[in-house]
Amino acid sequence: MIKNLSIIYPIFNEEKRLFNIFQDIKKFNKKTHHISKEYIFVDDGSFDNSKKRIKDFIKLNKNSKIQYKIISYKVNKGKGYALKSGVLNSTKKWILTTDSDCSVSNFQILRWMKKNYINEENMIYFASRNHPISQVKKIKSREIIGAIFRFAISLMFNVKISDTQCGFKLYKANIAKKIFSKIKTNGYMHDLEICIISKKMNYVINELPVIWKHKFEGKISFFKDSIKIISSLVMIKFYRY
């Protein structure tokens, strides 16, 4: 049973989508009085009004039982760097990393708990859009790209995880801190490093079903950013942990 939880959001120019995050947090708080919660917003060099909107939300929703933190720096570093900063500065016994587009609601944690999926503290839990009973709404092109990406990482790294890139991941805090302290990739491919490092440290990744909805205005395009992705994969191939 999860009794206290840090939830980490990587934020980069999310002014237009923060409303969805705030609504999900407020609804989640009403249903989880039994969980001590810490929300960590990592402002990854935003140059819009994201930081101000987060501060305004915190002022309006102060609660002695709920902690809110902002970690902020001026230069955009990447999602991996942002999550690493959040994880290493978290204080609760469990850590949830999630995406700023709110494609997965925090309520997914409660669904997992209700099904007794979270029962091994030495495991890591990945939400998987490819799980047989996941409910997923996504565009066809992303399915094709995802299949190609899974084939590539299976071939290059012998990683058998069906969905490395879904941002909704749950860890026991001591495990997360050990893994993220070793991550070298600042960008999106940090998820692959999590799989590689976990394997080397003998942590088991358990893929769980998820309710996931595609959100537009995403920050990454697999076509546009293909060169960055390929170069990251090559670099990770030669990393030593």
List the one residue out of 157, 113, 135, 145 whose CA is nearest residue 209. Answer: 135
- Tens-digit pLDDT profile for residues 75-125: 999 999 999 999 999 999 999 999 999 999 999 999 999 999 998 878 899
pLDDT tens digits in sequence order for the chain, 241 residues long: 899 999 999 999 999 999 999 999 999 999 999 999 999 999 999 999 999 999 999 999 988 889 999 999 999 999 999 999 999 999 999 999 999 999 999 999 999 999 999 988 788 999 999 999 999 987 666 666 767 777 778 778 888 899 999 999 999 999 999 999 999 999 989 999 999 999 999 999 999 999 998 875 555 555 566 777 778 887 888 887 7
Burial class (CB in 10 A: 0-12, 13-18, 19+), 32: middle
Q: Give pTM, 2 decimals.
A: 0.91
Helix axes 18-31, 107-114, angle to 10 degrees: 40
φ/ψ of 63, rounded to 5, equals -150, 130
- CA gap 147, 61 in Å, rounded: 41
CA triple 164-232-106, angle to 5 deg: 30
Structure tokens at 96: 């949830």
- CA gap 143, 6 in Å, rounded: 31
List residues bridging with 211 in a β-sheet. 135
List the one residue out of 135, 118, 115, 119 whose CA is nearest residue 169. Answer: 118
Amino acid occupying residue 154: S
